[in-house]
Amino acid sequence: MRRFDDGRVEVLSSIVASQVKDHAPYGGVVPEIAARAHVEVIDAIAAQAMAAAGVGYADLTGVAATAGPGLVGGVMVGLSFGKAVALARGLPLVAVNHLEGHALSARLAADLPYPFLLLLVSGGHCQLLAVEGVGAHRRLGTTIDDAAGEAFDKIAKVMGLPYPGGPALERLAEGGDAERHVLPRMLLGRAGCDFSFSGLKTAAARLAEQVTDETERRDLAAAVQAAIARQLAERADRALALYAREHEGRSLRFVVAGGVAANKAVRARLEAAAAARGFSFTAPPLAYCTDNAAMIALAGAERLAQGLCDPLDAEARPRWPLDAAAAAARPTHATGRKGAKA
């Protein structure tokens, strides 16, 4: 990636090596397979990215690598590779939070100034964040059980769809009647901006057992997709209202990012919610919604421009909340012995 002095960026190349085929037989991500697959391809992918960009290592001014949160095996592979390049070339290293990559991803292709309200919806996360700038994130809400992508994936699995379930469910839902099956509206009218998907998952699993023909299956997929989109929009609306009050008289911007932002029904619902509250709406192009290197490069470049970089012994972090204070005060999702994941 090239970053200009005025803050504009140009993505010179962004190569994604998908592991979907490696994990598909198991119906989900297998940590050992993920780590090994990273080791096997990292050299070739880096070489391919450099070649596609038409640059050599001598042209680089910095190296950004994801340092967490997530499965630590794969994170360690990428971070070690980044450290090696930084050490060999005497370049600054930026250890990037994967979630910050998603948070900034909409800035890759749109003129999107700070601050903005962000809905981050991926396989592991479902959060509303006030993004004030690089490294300045305030969490307004999070999921109290599953992430939105997790809900898509788990429901798709009980419906017999292949992994990853989100895109497969979206394809099946095409042309389906979303009104035929009634699914619960979780947390309806409840204060705050948190999300919940577990009741929806249970109800959908029960319906999936009763569904017999293809039409009913398609209708169920449409109902599930609509229910997830509605949950996201209803809860986001509370954050939109809160954020609008806090930012009275200023430009209001709403952004959705993460793998689930690739879903057209979700985008449409959120765009309508934003418009109703007087917010502009931005979603990254599809290729920048799901995990990609360009968003990590952007977060790295923005940090570097502010003089922020990390030591060569920066650690891979399986748990790394964007808003550490909120995560510690209210660790509602994916917590464990070592604290809040995100």
Provide the binding-site residues for Zn ion, judged by CB under 5 A.
122, 291
Which are the contacts of 212, defined by CB distance < 8 A and separation ≥ 6? none
Is the Cβ of residue 34 or residue 326 nearer to ligand KG4 in the bound state?
Answer: 34
Q: Is 146 in the site for ligand KG4 (CB under 6 A)?
A: no
CA distance 232 to 268: 11
Which of ligand KG4, Zn ion, none lies near 290, with the C-beta cut-off 5 to 8 A by kind? ligand KG4
Is the Cβ of residue 124 or residue 176 nearer to ligand KG4 in the bound state?
Answer: 124
Q: Is 97 in the site for ligand KG4 (CB under 6 A)?
A: no
Which of Zn ion, ligand KG4, none lies near 176, with the C-beta cut-off 5 to 8 A by kind? none
In angstroms, give the least distance from the CB of 55 to ligand KG4: 26
Residues 261-280 that bind ligand KG4 (CB under 6 A): 262-263
**Region binding ligand KG4 by CB under 6 A among candidate stretches 4-12, 158-166, 184-192, 209-217:** 158-166
Residues 113-142 that bind ligand KG4 (CB under 6 A): 122-124
Q: Is 321 in the site for ligand KG4 (CB under 6 A)?
A: no
Which are the contacts of 186, defined by CB distance < 8 A and separation ≥ 6? 195, 196, 197, 198, 199, 200, 231
The closest of 161, 239, 154 to 195, measured between CA atoms, is 239
Structure tokens at 65: 């690598």
User: What b/e sequence results for 86-112 when a residue is b if at least 16 CB atoms lie within 10 Å of its CB, and e otherwise?
Assistant: beeeebbbbbbbbbbbbbbbbbbbeeb
Structural contact between residues 163 and 23, judged by C-beta atoms closer than 8 angstroms = yes
In angstroms, give the least distance from the CB of 11 to Zn ion: 17
CA 70, chain centre distance (Å): 12
Structural contact between residues 342 and 99, judged by C-beta atoms closer than 8 angstroms = yes
Which of ligand KG4, Zn ion, none lies near 170, with the C-beta cut-off 5 to 8 A by kind? ligand KG4
Structure tokens at 117: 């309200």
Is the Cβ of residue 196 or residue 290 nearer to ligand KG4 in the bound state?
Answer: 290
Q: H helices within 108-186, ranges in order? A: 148-158, 165-173
Is the Cβ of residue 92 or residue 123 nearer to ligand KG4 in the bound state?
Answer: 123
In angstroms, give the least distance from the CB of 295 to Zn ion: 9
CA distance 318 to 34: 14
Structure tokens at 48: 């391919």
Q: Is 82 in the site for ligand KG4 (CB under 6 A)?
A: no
Structure tokens at 160: 């017999």
Q: Is 145 in the site for ligand KG4 (CB under 6 A)?
A: no
Which of ligand KG4, Zn ion, none lies near 195, with the C-beta cut-off 5 to 8 A by kind? none
CA distance 101 to 6: 20
Is the Cβ of residue 122 or residue 225 nearer to Zn ion in the bound state?
Answer: 122
Q: 4: helix, coil or strand?
A: coil
The closest of 111, 96, 125, 124 to 255, measured between CA atoms, is 111
Query: Which residue among 62, 69, 78, 166 contacts ligand KG4 (CB under 6 A)?
Result: 166
In angstroms, give the least distance from the CB of 227 to ligand KG4: 13
**Region binding ligand KG4 by CB under 6 A among candidate stretches 56-64, 256-264, 274-282, 322-330:** 256-264
| Residues engaged in binding ligand KG4 (CB under 6 A) | 122-124, 149, 152-153, 164-167, 170, 258-260, 262-263, 290-291
